[in-house]
Structure 1
Amino acid sequence: MRNIFTFGHRPAQRNWTVADLRANKGKLQLTEVTAMNGEQAARAAAAGIDTIVTRSQMLKEVRAAAPNTFLTAALMLIDHPTEKDVLEGAMRAMGEGADALYTTRSLDTIKMLADLDFPVMGHVGLVPPYSTWIGGLRAYGTTAEEALKVVGRFRDMERAGAFAVEVELVPQQVLEEINKHTTLVTFSIGSGSGGDVTFLFSEDICGETENPPRHAFAYGNVRRLQEQIERERIAALSAFQTEVRAGTFPYERVSVSMKPEHLEAFRTRLSKTDRLSVARG
C-alpha cells in the first residue's frame, strides 16, 4: 500500500498510484472492472481487482466500499453536457477521493483537466456514444489506414496531457505495437492482452448480462441464480396469499397464545364490562 494525500486534503492509502501504473507499463498485467454501487465495489476489492471505474455520481459510495483501490471517476457526457459541468464534476470527484478521471470528450477537455494536474484517461478505438461516425458498433483499426488513425489519436492524447487511454475493440496486434511506442497506460477492453490493464464490466464477468458483447466473458452465472431467487420470491408470496385466503395461516406456532386460566379470567371480566356498559347505556 502507498500512503497518499487526496485532492480533498485527506490522508489515504492506495494499492496503486499513477506513478506505479506508469512504472508497471509493459510488465505485470493488471485488471479493471466497473462498480456502480458499494456492493460491487466491495466485491471487487475483496477479489483483489487492481483498479475500479465508476460514474462520478456513484463515486462517494464506491470509494467508501473500496477505500484502498485505485478508482477512476467517469465523467459521462450525458451527465456533464458543458465544459463548466465537466470542471465542476471533476472537482467534486477528486474531492471525494477519485484517483483519476475518464472522459470521451474533446482533446481540449482532456487538456483542461490535465492542466490542473488531474490524471485523465481518454478513449480510442470504438467509442460507443460516437459509433455512428464509424458505421455502428464494430471493431476499429482492422485496416492499416484505421490503425494509423488510432496511432494519431494516441499522439493527440499524449500532447493533451492524458496519462492513460481506454482502448476498445482494436486488434490485439495493433495495440501491442502501439503500446511499445506510447507513454500512455493502456486499458484494453476487447483489444486483447496487448495493453497494460485488462478491463471488463463486472456484470459481464459475473454472468448477469442477458446479451453480453462479443468481447465479454462470463466467469460466473449470477443471472441464473437471480432468476431462481425471483422464482422463489414469487412462489413464497403466492403461498402466503393462498394460505391466508384459505384460513390456514397464521399457524399456531407463529402466533401468541394465552394460558387457559388467564384466558378464562379475561373472558369473565370482559363479559362483566359489556353488561355494565349496556346497563349504563
Structure 2
Amino acid sequence: MARLTVRDLLDARGKHQFAMLRVETIEEAEAAAKAGVELLSVPPSMILDGRFREVAPDCFALPGDNFYEIGGTEDFLRWAFPLYKHGADGFYCSGSLDTIRAMADHGLPVCGHVGLIPSKRTWTGGFKAVGKTLETAQLVWQQVRAAEEAGAFAVEIEVVPHSITRAIAERTTLFLISMGAGAAGHAQYLFSDDVLGQNRGRIPRHAKVYADFAAEHDRLQAMRIEAMGRFARDVHEGDYPTPQFLVDCESEVVEAFRDWLDRMT
C-alpha cells in the first residue's frame, strides 16, 4: 500500500473510518503498522529515528508535542522543517492560529485541536467534555472554523458529544480525528497505553482496553525480583561463581606469573 497523503484522507471522508494510535516506541509503531492502523501520532524524536520508516513505511505519521514544549510560531517552524524532511506527513499543533497559518503558508500539513484540549483545559473547566451546552458547542464550532480558515487540513476533536461532532462533520471540510467524540469523526484515535492496558492511572471513558499489559509487567517484575534475589543469595552464600562459570589457565602459567609478581613486588 502506498503511503497515505493529505489528499487521500480528505477524499476518504465519509467513505472509510481510519484507525489512529499514539505510539511511544518503535516496537509499538511496528505492531500498529502490522495490525493495520493507518494513522500514527508519534513523538517527534521517532520521526528522526531511521528505524521508524523501516517498521511503519506506509503509516501517515503526525509528530506532535504540547505548544509550551515547542514555543511560538518561529519555534514551531524550526521544529517542523527537519521533521518534514525526515518523513513526517503532518504536524499536530496546539499553538496559536497564527502558528497554524504560518505552517500552512509554508505548505506544512497542520492538524489543530478543538474541544477538550488538555494543555488548555483551564479555559473549559478541566478534564471534562466540551460541547454539552449550546455555548460550548458553539465554541467547538468556532474553533473548527478558525482552524479551517487558518489553513489546517485536520483537527483532533476531543471529548465532544457525538451528536455535536456529527453536526460539525456535515459542515466542515476538515478531516476530523475523533478522540472520544464519536463515529462522525473520520478517524478514531486512542493512546496505545490505553489500548494495551498499560495505563495505571485513570482510564478515560472513551478508551477501550484490549489487553492487560499492566498485569504482564507486574508478572515480569516479579520474575526479575525473584531471579535477582536468587543471584544475590548465591553470591552471599558462596554458590556463585562455581567452576562452570569460570575460565582458567595452565598451572605452569599461574606459577610463572606468581614468581614474576614476587620479583616485581
Q: 1:79 aligns with which of 69, 84, 94?
A: 69
Q: Counterpart of 1:113 in structure 2: which amino acid? A: M
The structure 1 residue matched to 2:108, chosen from 118, 122, 133, is 118
Decide whether the 8 Å contact of 2:129 with 2:160 is kept in 1.
Answer: yes
**Offset, 1:201:** 0.5
Contact 1:75-1:86 within 8 A present in 2 as well: no
Structure 2 match to 1:11:
none
Alignment of 1:98-177 (within 5 A): 98-177=88-167
* Counterparts of 1:76 and 1:130, CA distance in 2: 10
- Alignment of 1:244 with 2:235, yes or no, is yes
SS of the counterpart of 1:79? helix
The equivalent position to 1:220 in structure 2, one of 206, 211, 215, is: 211
Q: Which amino acid aligns with 2:196?
A: C
Match of 1:197 in 2: 187
Code of the aligned partner of 1:19: R
Q: SS where residue 140 of structure 1 aligns?
A: coil
How many angstroms apart in 2 are the aligned matches of 1:207 and 1:144? Answer: 35
Instruction: State the 1:64 CA deviation.
Output: 4.5
Separation (CA, whole Å) in 1 of partners of 2:227 and 2:12: 52
The residue that corresponds to 1:21 in the other structure is: 9
**Of 40, 43, 47, which residue of structure 2 is paired with 1:55?**
43
Q: Distance in 1 between matches of 2:242 and 2:77?
A: 61
- List gaps (5 residues or longer) in structure 1: 3-13
Q: Distance in 2 between matches of 1:51 and 1:64?
A: 16
- Counterpart contact for 1:75–1:89, Cα < 8 Å: no
| Deviation at residue 141 of structure 1 after TM alignment | 0.2
Question: Which residue, 58, 61, 65 being the options, matches 1:68?
Answer: 58
Q: How far apart are the structure 2 equivalents of 1:64 and 1:107?
A: 34
* 1:57 to partner: Cα distance: 3.1
**Residue 53 of structure 1, CA deviation:** 0.9
The range that moved more, 167-176 or 148-157, is: 148-157
Report the secondary structure of 2:13's partner residue. Answer: coil
C-alpha displacement at 1:257, in angstroms?
Answer: 7.1
Structure 2: segments with no counterpart, 5+ residues? none
Identify which range, 165-174 or 214-223, moves more after superposition.
214-223
Whichever residue aligns with residue 153 of structure 1, its letter is Q
What TM-score do you get using the length of structure 1 for normalisation? Answer: 0.85
Task: Name the TM-score, length of structure 2 as normaliser.
Answer: 0.90
Distance 1:243 1:75, change over 3 A: closer
Aligned residues, how many?
261
Shift of 1:39: 1.8
Kindly state the Cα deviation for residue 206 of structure 1 after the two structures are TM-superposed. Answer: 0.4
8 Å Cα contact 2:72/2:95 also seen in 1: no
Does structure 1 conserve the Cα–Cα contact (< 8 Å) formed by 2:24 and 2:42?
yes
Task: Give the ranges of 4+ consecutive aligned residues of structure 1 lying more than 3 Å apart after TM superposition.
Answer: 62-65, 251-258
How much does 1:256 deviate? 4.6
- Bigger radius of gyration, 1 or 2? 1
Cα gap change, 1:99/1:246 in structure 2, threshold over 3 Å: closer, same or farther? same
Partner of 1:97: 87
Q: 1:149 to 1:102 in 2, by over 3 A?
A: same
Considering only aligned residues, what root-mean-square deviation do their CA atoms show, in Å? 2.4
Is 1:30 the counterpart of 2:18? The answer is yes
Is 1:43 the counterpart of 2:35? The answer is: no
Of 224, 230, 241, the residue aligned with 2:221 is 230
Q: CA deviation at 1:112?
A: 0.7
CA-CA distance at 1:254 after TM superposition: 3.5
Q: 2:173 aligns with which of 176, 183, 186?
A: 183
Distance 1:24 1:108 in 2: 28
Q: How far has the Cα of 1:22 moved from its partner?
A: 0.6
